[in-house]
Chain A
Amino acid sequence: MKLLWLQKITCNGNAHSFLNYPNLTEWMEDFEWVYHPLLPSTYSLKEIQSDIKECDILMIEGAIDREDSLFLELFYRYANEAKYILTLGTCATFGGIFAQAKDSIKGLHFDKENRLDEFGKFWQKSISLPGCPLQPQVLAGVLNAIKEGISIPLDKMHRPKYYYAYTVHNGCTRNEYFEYKIDEHRFGELEGCMFYEHGCQGTYTHNSCNKILWNSVNSKTRAGQPCMGCSEPNFPDDDLWRTKKNMGIPAKLPTGVPKRAYLSLAGVAKAFKIDRFYHPLMEDESE
């Protein structure tokens, strides 16, 4: 299976993140890099630019400046050729950080959450893989599924459900503090949930960060950083370290949970001050 990895306005983070896939050498035995920005490839970028090479899957990393006609021409050539087009990371999918610089910079099929028609004829063969960066297991898994001819269930933004049907909240080690509405959280501690005060977007961010652990060992929220929603269409929002609230009520609620349901449950949870959650995990237990 021939893979072509093209980059535009990017930090290279998805390419580097992919290098961390645990069995990359073995995985690569079944694939050929027509071009990869870091790994040995069959052709040089110059050769890719000057001639049409065969490719099964076109992968785009980085946001696309619509004023960049040279890149667009290159993209069309290979997009017509490819059986699948993958947008790797949030920039290529939704525009991401760099789209905030200029109006003409956008994701391939999206400008934040708005679907664009521009490359509509490629939509049916496109798969969205947002994340800043993308987890290596997600990319390796999707490519494996394509190679094996297994159909991948997609959501309406064409994100593979195997990875994006979950929220970042699923599997976070700080979950109990969310469930029992312990709104005190201090940085530098093992305890506490960042949802109530410190901007954690884990409950409404579609990704598998706490299901497939990062680098096989950890996640940002486990390590006390609020999820910044880096795989969501509107990433990066403003004021990322603070929860936006209306009269103390979180402005954004867990995916699919109606406000009334959330507030009722939170009210009940808050009513019971459960002692355990107010003590450091490492503190001596009193008799």
Chain B
Amino acid sequence: MIDTSKKEQKRSLIINGALKLFATKGFYATTIPQIAKFIGMSSGNLYNYFSSKELLAQEILKYISAHLAKEIRKINDSSLSSQEKIKAIVKIYFNTAQSQPEMIDFFLRVYLSNREVFRKGCEGMICVNEFVTEIMIFFDEAVAKGELKNQDFFSAFGLFMGYLGGMVFLNGEEVLNKRLDEYIDDISTNIYNALKSD
């Protein structure tokens, strides 16, 4: 009998290791043997867990999506106002970018840059479904309460996430004058002002 919790631990170890390498070196420059070496296991054993590098990248994407979704869900379940929720979401995103930069970097530098890797297996937004679902719930409730303006989902989603992604990118390029978390207030206000109901 296989010890499932032990198997889970191993899986998680591989995902975290691969995430760091993919995020820093990029998808193509990273090889399975490098990942195996990085976490101290054999390539053969690693293949027992993930049959291909593409599949591993897709699993990482789902892992990041689930991680962010879990955090945003806490915000959705809270009694904060929509304006306060926006700030809380921005905070989570930027904090993650600072404390676990590989998560956001993977998203920006692997997922968005190497679409061919994800085409089969991550159709549409299926691998980021959990994250998108929580954002949808946030928008839906905010509009239902009359706090945000009703509009097309993607025009609001693009404004919100594109803005955050852009800031993390600039931060990564080291062109920002301030620390990322010092922008939380201004950026939250800008997003709220852009989305709030008339």
A residues in contact (CB < 8 Å) with B? 245-249, 251, 259-260, 263-264, 267-268, 270-273
Alpha-carbon gap, A60 to B156, bound state (A): 50
Alpha-carbon gap, A247 to B195, bound state (A): 11
Q: Is B133 an interface residue (CB 8 A)?
A: yes
Contact among B124, B129, B137, B156 for A272, CB-based, below 8 A: B124
| Known interface pairs A263-B133, A267-B129, A268-B129; A247-B124 also in contact (CB < 8 Å) | no
Set of chain A residues within 8 Å of B142, measured between Cβ atoms: 246
| Known interface pairs A246-B150, A247-B150; A271-B126 also in contact (CB < 8 Å) | yes
Q: Is B130 an interface residue (CB 8 A)?
A: yes
B residues in contact (CB < 8 Å) with A? 122-126, 129-130, 132-133, 136-137, 139-144, 148, 150-154, 156-157
| Contact across chains for B129 and A247 when beta carbons are under 8 A apart | no
| Contact across chains for B123 and A249 when beta carbons are under 8 A apart | no
Can you spell out 5 A-B residue pairs with CB atoms less than 8 angstroms apart? Answer: A245-B150, A248-B152, A260-B137, A264-B130, A272-B123
Set of chain A residues within 8 Å of B139, measured between Cβ atoms: 246-247, 249
Which among B123, B126, B133, B143 has the highest number of chain A CB atoms within 10 Å? Answer: B133
Nearest B-chain residue to A270, judged by Cβ: B124
Set of chain A residues within 8 Å of B154, measured between Cβ atoms: 248
Alpha-carbon gap, A251 to B136, bound state (A): 11
| Contact across chains for A259 and B140 when beta carbons are under 8 A apart | yes
| Known interface pairs A267-B124, A268-B126; A251-B137 also in contact (CB < 8 Å) | no
Set of chain B residues within 8 Å of A249, measured between Cβ atoms: 136, 139-140, 153
Set of chain B residues within 8 Å of A264, measured between Cβ atoms: 129-130, 133
| Contact across chains for B152 and A247 when beta carbons are under 8 A apart | yes
Nearest A-chain residue to B132, judged by Cβ: A267
Additional A-B contacts beyond A249-B136, A267-B129 (20; CB < 8 A): A246-B139, A246-B140, A246-B141, A246-B144, A246-B150, A247-B136, A247-B151, A247-B153, A248-B152, A249-B153, A251-B140, A259-B137, A259-B140, A264-B129, A264-B130, A267-B126, A267-B133, A270-B125, A271-B125, A271-B126
Set of chain B residues within 8 Å of A272, measured between Cβ atoms: 123-124, 126
| Contact across chains for A247 and B126 when beta carbons are under 8 A apart | no
Set of chain B residues within 8 Å of A263, measured between Cβ atoms: 132-133, 136-137
Closest approach, in angstroms, between the C-beta of A257 and any C-beta of chain B? 13
Nearest A-chain residue to B141, judged by Cβ: A246
Set of chain A residues within 8 Å of B141, measured between Cβ atoms: 246
Set of chain B residues within 8 Å of A259, measured between Cβ atoms: 137, 140
Closest approach, in angstroms, between the C-beta of B160 and any C-beta of chain A? 11
Nearest B-chain residue to A262, judged by Cβ: B133
Closest approach, in angstroms, between the C-beta of B72 and any C-beta of chain A? 11
Alpha-carbon gap, A248 to B150, bound state (A): 8
Alpha-carbon gap, A263 to B128, bound state (A): 12
Set of chain B residues within 8 Å of A248, measured between Cβ atoms: 151-154
Set of chain B residues within 8 Å of A271, measured between Cβ atoms: 122-126, 129
The 7 closest A-B pairs by CB, nearest first: A271-B124, A248-B153, A246-B143, A271-B126, A247-B139, A267-B129, A271-B123
Closest approach, in angstroms, between the C-beta of A286 and any C-beta of chain B? 22
Alpha-carbon gap, A270 to B142, bound state (A): 23
Set of chain B residues within 8 Å of A251, measured between Cβ atoms: 140, 144
Closest approach, in angstroms, between the C-beta of A20 and any C-beta of chain B? 40
Nearest B-chain residue to A249, judged by Cβ: B140
Closest approach, in angstroms, between the C-beta of B154 and any C-beta of chain A? 7
| Known interface pairs A259-B140, A264-B130, A267-B133; A247-B125 also in contact (CB < 8 Å) | no
Alpha-carbon gap, A96 to B69, bound state (A): 42
Closest approach, in angstroms, between the C-beta of A249 and any C-beta of chain B? 4
Set of chain A residues within 8 Å of B153, measured between Cβ atoms: 247-249
Closest approach, in angstroms, between the C-beta of B99 and any C-beta of chain A? 27
| Contact across chains for B140 and A247 when beta carbons are under 8 A apart | yes
Set of chain B residues within 8 Å of A273, measured between Cβ atoms: 123-124
Closest approach, in angstroms, between the C-beta of B161 and any C-beta of chain A? 13
Alpha-carbon gap, A263 to B69, bound state (A): 13
Nearest A-chain residue to B76, judged by Cβ: A260
Nearest B-chain residue to A268, judged by Cβ: B126
Alpha-carbon gap, A2 to B148, bound state (A): 58
| Contact across chains for A247 and B137 when beta carbons are under 8 A apart | no
